């Protein structure tokens, strides 16, 4: 596990992954405006998702062996971790179903949306994942202050994302006549962004609870399953957006 990593190299890794993700997102945008290949866009999204799943969500921890007995904290945390990942697996079927519906109904058409805003909210969410990662690694090194700051920034960025999508993008779309009941393009757009925003909202609430409990000294360097769970969940929400962003903004021609 990465707690054998020292603090500086954890930071270095976080920054590196953040940069990779940013570059790949820019690449996506370039592909979309230059030659729009669905296959290449999908591939890039898969690479981004793999980076997030491995480095931010540390999926490899599922494989960890635990020394203590079944009643030890480590063993129970391992069980909790499995439970959380099973939940995410289940949840990903919801988002998968939405993606399937989107391509079944709209084919290679996409809704008319504000590209700049799309890029901005994507960047905000990505950045929030970086700070979430900072918060978690800080906790793992016993740095409560860094942890609290990281969580706080993540919450702010998450709220910013919500405002951007629900507060601005929805308004702009509606102003251009794309309402939920107008046609199926509107239906899909509001359903996908709405379902995702709902998950972001629950994530923000979850982070709020973690922040409060963390301020009350609930977590320690060794025992902070709550922080890890919030982080993994938060990154998962980001991972979903990695697929939703091209599906809504980049792939296809305007409808």
Partner 1 sequence: MKKIYSIPLIRGIVWQVVGLLVGIGIVVGIRAAMGLQATGPFLVTEHAWVFGGFLGTLTFLVGHGVMGDWFKWWRGEITSDHHEDKPGWEKYFGPSLDHKVIGIQYTVTALIVMIVGGTFALIFRTELAFEGMQFLKPAQYNTLMSMHGIVMIVVILLGIGGMMNYLVPLLVGAHDMAFPRLNSFAFWIVVPAAVWLLSSMALGGIETGWTGYPPLSANMNLVGQQTFFLAVFIVGWSSVLGGLNLIATVVRMRAKGMTAFRMPIFVWASIATSLIALTATQLIGLSFQMVMFQRLFGMGFFDPVKGGNPVLFQHLFWFYSHPAVYVFILPGLGIVSELLPVFARKPLFGYKWIAMSSLGIALVGFLVWAHHMFTSGMNEYLRVPFMYSTLLVAVPTGVKFFSWTATIWKGKIDTPVPTPMLFTVGAVFVFLLGGLTGPPNATVSTDLHLHDTYWIVGHFHDTMFGGFMFPFFAALYYWFPKATGRRMNETLGKIHFWLMTPSFFVMTLGMMYIGLNGMRRRIADYDPAMGFQPTHFVLTIAGFLIALSVLVFFINLITSLRNGEVAKGNVWNSRSPEWQVESPMPAHNYEHPFEVVGEPYDYGLAGSKYVEFAKHK
Binding site for partner 1 (CB under 8 A): 70, 75, 78-79, 82-83, 86-87, 89-91, 93-94, 97-98, 100-101, 104-105, 180-188, 190-191, 209, 212-213, 216, 218, 226
Q: To the nearest whole angstrom, how small is the minimum distance from the Cβ of residue 54 to partner 1?
A: 21
Q: To the nearest whole angstrom, how small is the minimum distance from the Cβ of residue 195 to partner 1?
A: 9
Distances (CA, A) of 203 to 57, 79, 129, 198, 238: 15, 21, 12, 9, 10
In terms of CB distance, is 15 or 209 closer to partner 1?
209
Q: To the nearest whole angstrom, how small is the minimum distance from the Cβ of residue 43 to partner 1?
A: 24
Give the span between the Cα atoms of 211 and 214, in whole angstroms: 5
Q: To the nearest whole angstrom, how small is the minimum distance from the Cβ of residue 88 to partner 1?
A: 10
Contacts of residue 186, Cβ cutoff 8 Å, sequence gap at least 6: 111, 173, 178, 179, 180
Q: To the nearest whole angstrom, how small is the minimum distance from the Cβ of residue 94 to partner 1?
A: 5
Q: Which of 21, 39, 105 is nearest to 251 (CA)?
A: 39
In terms of CB distance, is 91 or 143 closer to partner 1?
91
In terms of CB distance, is 162 or 229 closer to partner 1?
229
What long-range pairs does 129-132 form, CB within 8 A, spacing at least 24?
129/18, 129/21, 129/52, 129/56, 129/234, 129/235, 129/238, 130/14, 130/15, 130/17, 130/18, 131/157, 132/56, 132/230, 132/231, 132/234, 132/235
Q: Which of 201, 215, 243, 187 is nearest to 47 (CA)?
A: 243
In terms of CB distance, is 37 or 79 closer to partner 1?
79
In terms of CB distance, is 37 or 202 closer to partner 1?
202
Residue entry with tokens 């792939």:
251
In terms of CB distance, is 8 or 69 closer to partner 1?
69
Q: To the nearest whole angstrom, how small is the minimum distance from the Cβ of residue 180 to partner 1?
A: 5
């Amino acid at each position: 596990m990465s707690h054998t990593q020292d603090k500086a190299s954890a930071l270095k890794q976080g920054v590196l992954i953040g940069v990779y993700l940013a570059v790949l997102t820019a690449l996506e945008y370039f592909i979309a405006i230059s030659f729009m290949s669905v296959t290449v866009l999908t591939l890039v999204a898969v690479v981004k998702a793999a980076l997030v799943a491995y480095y931010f969500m540390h999926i490899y921890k599922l494989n960890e062996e635990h020394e203590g007995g079944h009643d030890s904290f480590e063993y129970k945390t391992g069980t909790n971790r499995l439970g959380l990942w099973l939940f995410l697996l289940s949840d990903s079927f919801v988002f998968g179903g939405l993606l399937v519906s989107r391509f079944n109904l709209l084919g290679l058409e996409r809704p008319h949306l504000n590209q700049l805003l799309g890029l901005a909210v994507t960047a905000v969410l990505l950045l929030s994942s970086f700070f979430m990662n900072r918060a978690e690694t800080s906790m793992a090194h016993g740095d409560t202050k860094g942890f609290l700051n990281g969580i706080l920034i993540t919450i702010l960025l998450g709220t910013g994302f919500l405002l951007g999508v629900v507060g601005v993008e929805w308004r702009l779309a509606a102003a251009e006549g794309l309402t939920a009941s107008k046609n199926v393009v509107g239906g899909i757009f509001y359903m996908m962004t709405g379902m995702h925003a709902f998950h972001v909202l629950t994530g923000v609430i979850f982070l709020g609870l973690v922040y409060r409990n963390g301020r009350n000294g609930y977590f320690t360097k060794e025992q902070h399953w709550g922080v890890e769970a919030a982080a993994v969940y938060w990154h998962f929400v980001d991972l979903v957006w990695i697929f939703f962003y091209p599906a809504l903004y980049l792939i296809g021609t305007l409808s």
